[in-house]
Amino acid sequence: MKIIDFRLRPPAKGFLDTLMYNAGERRDGFTRTVGFEPSPAAQQQSMEMLLREMDEADVAHGVVVGRLAGMLGSISNEDVLSLMQEYGPRFLGAASIDPTDRRKAIQTIDEAMAAGFKLINIEPGAYPVPMLADDRRLYPIYAHCEDRGIPIILMVGGTAGPDLSYSNPINTDRVLADFPSLKVVAAHGAWPWVNEILHVAFRRPNLYLSPDMYFSRMPGWEEYVKAADGFLSDRMLYASSFPFCPVKGYRDWFETLPIRPENREKIMWGNAARLLDLPDPASAAQRVEALAS
Amino acid sequence: MKIIDFRLRPPAKGFLDTLMYNAGERRDGFTRTVGFEPSPAAQQQSMEMLLREMDEADVAHGVVVGRLAGMLGSISNEDVLSLMQEYGPRFLGAASIDPTDRRKAIQTIDEAMAAGFKLINIEPGAYPVPMLADDRRLYPIYAHCEDRGIPIILMVGGTAGPDLSYSNPINTDRVLADFPSLKVVAAHGAWPWVNEILHVAFRRPNLYLSPDMYFSRMPGWEEYVKAADGFLSDRMLYASSFPFCPVKGYRDWFETLPIRPENREKIMWGNAARLLDLPDPASAAQRVEALAS
Amino acid sequence: MKIIDFRLRPPAKGFLDTLMYNAGERRDGFTRTVGFEPSPAAQQQSMEMLLREMDEADVAHGVVVGRLAGMLGSISNEDVLSLMQEYGPRFLGAASIDPTDRRKAIQTIDEAMAAGFKLINIEPGAYPVPMLADDRRLYPIYAHCEDRGIPIILMVGGTAGPDLSYSNPINTDRVLADFPSLKVVAAHGAWPWVNEILHVAFRRPNLYLSPDMYFSRMPGWEEYVKAADGFLSDRMLYASSFPFCPVKGYRDWFETLPIRPENREKIMWGNAARLLDLPDPASAAQRVEALAS
């Protein structure tokens, strides 16, 4: 099985200057809290080891997320692009924008998509001037993406902003209702609002859920698992949040979850491939098989 | 055992023009999502089959809910009344009101109760101009019902309004606090705010909970079950939400839940009978037994 | 093992005039709801019986909480102080303040700490004029306590105020963010917002959680237990909330929970001792042992 890991930050470029790498002990503490041993690739900041770990875990693609942030540290689109250029489709890029200048943001989006980025990353609460997900300033940007069929990642879970209000699913729900054709990936799965975001996902077919590191044994996580094997099997996404979780360890653990194989494959490949419009190797294989029979 | 099903929409009159009947595939998808096979009575829109299914499930009464709504579609009080007239006590009516005209709403309430309706249905978020449960415009109406001992159904769960804020239990809690003698049935059990509404129910003796279709294996549902067999056994209500769940299938499933028989009987009959001031066949039977011994 | 019970209201002084003692049936109903038999010491309002029960349960210290409240009834600092004087370190005092007069509140705090109180009790929603936890009027008081290293109890769970909004963890989170060195004990564990407050606790190292009576089998409680044996083992606190739960019965039950012995000891002693700057009998014993070997 081939896997798409929907949140993976390699030990390279601007990532090395962010807390996830330059505060390694804090990160490893988190990793152990959610039940994993830290990845040596994370600890030794080795691209070579990461690529090997991805191979061992059958991770064909990792979604690499640019970020324009205050406290969390920024990663420029240029950095993400150079990873895309150096490693090819191994890394799929999500471009960040500056929401305080809508014209420039829209230009950034158009240029990024033209350059091969796959989607746009919007982190309302993490901007230097934090916003809620339904902030008016983001609406022209959502409209632009909806009209062009560009999916977005919306970071509205975990430490999404200065306080817990920035992950409130009420604001996310409004965005989904106001832009019904905009495909939205809720990064960090809107944790800790687990039941609430699952209601929103149940109601809004344009929401994809990526609980990533909070999928793993944090309060309420069992409901994510049940939804993954139930009504949300077509819109749940798999993401290790590396370096917070190890690429290989996360996979090994994920496969122990009570999720039926057909749903697991959708979560680990099919849903993301469809969302990002990637060719589906499984259907290609089936086509070959069909021709042969 | 005789059962009162607190939310049951027959395939007749205005109901046939609402999404629950005129979008049958969407409805059947929901039914399967919560783990049931669709009822043939729903699929074939047959009153005769529904009545037979009610018989098989020992459902003596179904609460039929009028609705004045925007997107969800309206069912007039006249339609509900004609069902009450045609089928007698098999269907107990809940009358809807127009909250934008308080004088007319109060007149509607008085006329409906005089005509044999059992309670009033208020759906704040579903009105053409959506409101939160504690909207000022609703307060004269709540006051009128409280003063006359008229119970209300308050739809504040599931798809209660344009977004998730319309089911927020904070607003419901304020209504319960401001009208402590008003008996309020929270339709759809304020799902997905499960822990929160259970706190409110724990605190406010005037709240009854009807999680109905969200009782059934949706995120957080186990807490409803535990409360039903615990502190909320006197105020939990049974409701299939037909046609979303099958009348008979829902009953068969409900009886597999870890709820003690004495509590199950209260939930399926006693609590609703007390709330609606119906004669209690069990106590009548006990009286006969007591006389005989 | 020695235990610190972080919420214990003796049957004496002003406590006898509050609902928890003068509405004994209501209290006993609660006790049974959460699965315990009422303590005879509570029912007979006997200090002697309480002290014996504390002995039997190895409760070395009980934190006694003063309160300035509207509906819930007040307990003056004088009353708490006289218990501290009569019974010595058996009872550790938390002093209450009047938040409507910041100068007087700060004077109260300074005098209380000088008199031997261990911390300050702030109940935003229970004041005669209810406040949210992040009310501006409380900020000078939080600042004063933070600057002097004085921990506070913040009642932001259960029946924290006139409605459910007063326990909203969003407001609590803001206080923790704005005063990062202020040690805050969330009394009643912010119940029913279980997942949400656990997120806050995960993020904010200055939050201590005392779910006390809501720890015991109320909706969502299993997540408290898992956190107690996981990422929150250093900041979970043990509290019977006597007279709502029996001192001895609560302990017997607590020890059946799936919490490893080393974490249980932290929760029942170490975390509270560190927070209140008490000598640690275990480390004293270890020191003796070390000297002897």
pLDDT for position C281: 61
Contact C226 A220 (CB under 8 A): no
The SS3 assignment for C3 reads strand
Mutate to test the interface with C, among A163, A165, A213 (most CBs of C within 10 A): A163
CB contact under 8 Å between A194 and C195, yes or no, is yes
Strand partners, A121: A96, A153
Residue A127's alpha-carbon distances to A67, A131, A166, A190, in angstroms, are 9, 7, 11, 17
Inter-chain CB proximity A226 and B219 less than 8 Å: yes
Interface test with C, best of B170, B178, B179, B196 (most C CBs within 10 A): B196
**Partner-chain contact A169 B165, CB within 8 Å:** no
pLDDT at A162: 97
Distance from CA of A241 to the nearest CA of C (A): 17
Contact B200 C164 (CB under 8 A): yes
Q: At C119, is the secondary structure helix, strand, or coil?
A: strand
Check residue A291 and give its pLDDT.
53
Question: What domains are there in chain A, each with its CATH number?
Answer: 3-292 (3.20.20.140)
Chain C hits for B230, CB-CB cut-off 8 Å, are 33, 217
Beta bridge partners of B210: B187
Using CB atoms, list chains with 3+ pairs below 8 Å to chain B. A, C
Partners of residue B196 in chain C, C-beta under 8 Å = 164, 192-193
Residue B48 CB-density burial (10 A; 0-12 exposed, 13-18 middle, 19+ buried): exposed
Of A33, A158, A220, the CB nearest to C195: A220
C191 neighbourhood in chain B, CB within 8 Å? 195, 199
Pairing of strands C91-96, A3-5: unpaired
Whole-structure pTM value = 0.94
Instruction: Show residues of chain C in contact with A165, CB under 8 Å.
Output: 170, 173
Strand stretches in chain B, DSSP E: 3-5, 59-65, 91-96, 119-122, 152-155, 184-187, 207-210
Q: How many inter-chain contacts (A to C, CB under 8 Å) are there? A: 40
Strand partners, A59: A3
Of B33, B217, B220, the CB nearest to A195: B220
Query: What does DSSP assign to residue B38?
Result: P
Q: Which residues does chain B have within 8 Å of residue C158's beta carbon, measured at their own beta carbons?
A: 199
**How far does A174 lie from chain B, in Å, by closest CA?**
6
Q: Between chains, do B192 and A199 touch, taking CB under 8 Å as contact? A: yes
* Cα torsion angle, A241, A246, A247, A249, sign: negative
Closest chain A C-alpha to B193 CA, distance in angstroms: 7
Minimal-distance CA residue of chain B relative to C34: B231
| B69 conformational bin, left if phi > 0, alpha if psi -120 to 50, beta if neither | beta
CA distance C196 to chain A (A): 5
CA of A239 vs chain B CAs: smallest distance (Å): 21
Number of C-beta neighbours around residue B200 at 10 A: 24
Q: What is the pLDDT of residue A73?
A: 80
In tens, the pLDDT along B235-257 reads 999 999 999 999 999 999 999 99
Measured between beta carbons, the chain B residues lying within 8 angstroms of A202 are 33, 218
Subunits with 3+ C-beta pairs closer than 8 A to C: A, B
Q: Inform me whether the pLDDT recorded for B18 exceeds 70.
A: yes
ipTM of the complex: 0.93
Expressed in percent and rounded to 5, the helix, strand and coil fractions of chain C are: 50, 15, 35
Contacts of C218 in chain B (CB under 8 A): 198, 202
Q: Residue B286: its pLDDT value, please?
A: 57
User: Would you state the pLDDT for residue A1?
Assistant: 75
Q: Pick from C265, C255, C275: which is nearest to C152 by CA?
A: C275
Q: What is the secondary structure of A42-72 as a DSSP string?
A: HHTT-HHHHHHHHHHTTEEEEEEE-B--STT
- pLDDT value at position C145? 98
Phi and psi at residue C153, to the nearest 5°? -100, 130
pLDDT band at B283 (very low <50, low <70, confident <90, very high): low
Q: Is A282 a residue whose pLDDT tops 70?
A: no
Mean pLDDT for B177-195 is 98
DSSP C195: H
Contact B170 C164 (CB under 8 A): yes
**Helix axes of B47-56 and B247-254: crossing angle, nearest 10 degrees:** 20
Residue C194 has its nearest CB partner, among B177, B195, B227, at: B195
Q: What is the pLDDT of residue A70?
A: 76
Write the single-letter amino acid at A118.
K
| Residue A268 and residue A3 in contact, taking contact as beta carbons nearer than 8 Å | yes
**Best mutation target, A132, A172, A196, to test chain B (most B CBs within 10 A):** A196
Q: What is the mean pLDDT of residues A23-29?
A: 94
Kindly identify which residue of chain A lies nearest to residue C196, measuring between CA atoms.
Answer: A192
Question: Mean pLDDT in chain A?
Answer: 94
Model confidence at B69, pLDDT cuts 50, 70, 90, reads confident
Tokens, residue B174 = 């304020």
Asked if C33 lies within 8 A of B198 by C-beta distance, the reply is no
Mutate to test the interface with B, among A132, A176, A202, A222 (most CBs of B within 10 A): A202
Q: Are B196 and C192 in contact (CB under 8 A)?
A: yes
CA–centroid distance for B291 within its chain: 36
User: Which residue from A minimizes the CA distance to B33?
Assistant: A231
Helices (H), C59-120: 77-87, 102-114
- Which residue reads 């015991």 in tokens? C216
Q: Chain B: give the shortest CA distance to residue A134, in Å.
A: 12
In this complex, the residue of C158, C159, C164 whose CB is nearest that of residue B169 is: C164
Q: What pLDDT, on the 0 to 100 scale, is given for residue B282?
A: 56
Q: What proportions of chain B, in percent to the nearest 5, are helix, strand and coil?
A: 50, 15, 35
Indicate whether B288 pLDDT > 60: no
Distance CA B25, CA B31 (A): 10
The rounded average pLDDT for each run of 10 residues, N- to C-terminus, in chain C (293 residues) is 95 94 94 95 98 98 91 89 97 96 97 98 96 98 98 97 98 98 98 98 98 94 97 98 97 97 98 92 54 53
The pLDDT assigned to C286 comes to 56
CA C1 remoteness from chain centre = 20
> Tens digit of pLDDT for each residue in A132-174?
999 999 999 999 999 999 999 999 999 999 999 999 999 999 9
The residues facing C62 across adjacent strands are C5, C91
Cβ–Cβ < 8 Å for A247, A53: yes
Residue in chain B lying closest to A227 (CA): B219
Q: CB A198 to CB B191 under 8 A? A: no
CB within 8 Å: A193 and C195: yes
pLDDT of C285 reads 53
The C-side interface with A (CB below 8 A) comprises 169-170, 173-174, 177, 194-196, 198-200, 202-203, 223, 226-227, 230-231
Quote the pLDDT of residue B292. Answer: 53
Q: Which residues of B touch C31 (CB under 8 A)?
A: none
Q: Chain B: give the shortest CA distance to residue A164, in Å.
A: 16
Q: Closest CB to B162: pick one of A177, A196, A231.
A: A177
How many helices and strands, by DSSP H and E, does chain A display?
A: 15, 7
Among B159, B165, B217, the residue with its CB nearest the CB of A170 is B165
pLDDT one-digit tens code per residue, A212-247: 999 989 999 999 999 999 999 999 999 999 999 999
Minimal CA separation from B157 to chain C, in Å: 16
Residue B19 has pLDDT above 60, yes or no: yes
